[in-house]
Amino acid sequence: MNIEKDERWAKQFGDFSEGLVMYLLGQLKNMSVALVDHVGADIFAVNRENTSQRYAISVKGRNIPPNESKSYNFSKYNIDKLVETSEAFGMEPAIALVFVDEQEVVKKIRVFVFTLRNILKLCDDNSVNFANRTDENGIRLRFTESQRTHHLSDIKKCQYIDYTELAFESFKPEISI
């Protein structure tokens, strides 16, 4: 049976990604959050305990098929738009990446949140192997976990990246009729 993807799937997944990031920041990180429809940023977030920590966040979400690379390129165009919006509103630019993949057998939703300043520092650090600049002056974040490559393990230990994962557990409840 050939199942076609809903034409609105990309929009729906983008909305889901933004909502998930808002939930994580608002409920688990004690931030006030607002969904915004602005070029370069999707969410504004302010730390409730330290209101000088104000972020304009660009959210990117993606379902990653098993046969594709576990990485994401954040383009120079996206960086420039995020910086422009952040400066206009007096906020620090930040990025949230939401990925769904099955590289660890079970399907997981992975959320990576980091400031632009910190990811650029990581890209320029030769000892960091999961973040680098692309040829086009964008950013590439790799999160492959295999016997040879341990990007995901390194990210989980990195103090500059807030990492959250949710795993899907399938079960079939017994039904009595």
Asked whether residue 105 carries a pLDDT value surpassing 90, the answer given is no
Asked whether residue 3 carries a pLDDT value surpassing 80, the answer given is no
CB 42 within 8 A of CB 56: no
- Closest among 166, 137, 155, 164 to 28, alpha carbons compared: 164
pLDDT at 1: 47
Record: fold of 9-167: Trna Endonuclease; Chain: A, domain 1 (3.40.1350)
Model-wide pTM > 0.75: yes
Please state the rounded mean pLDDT for residues 146-155.
87
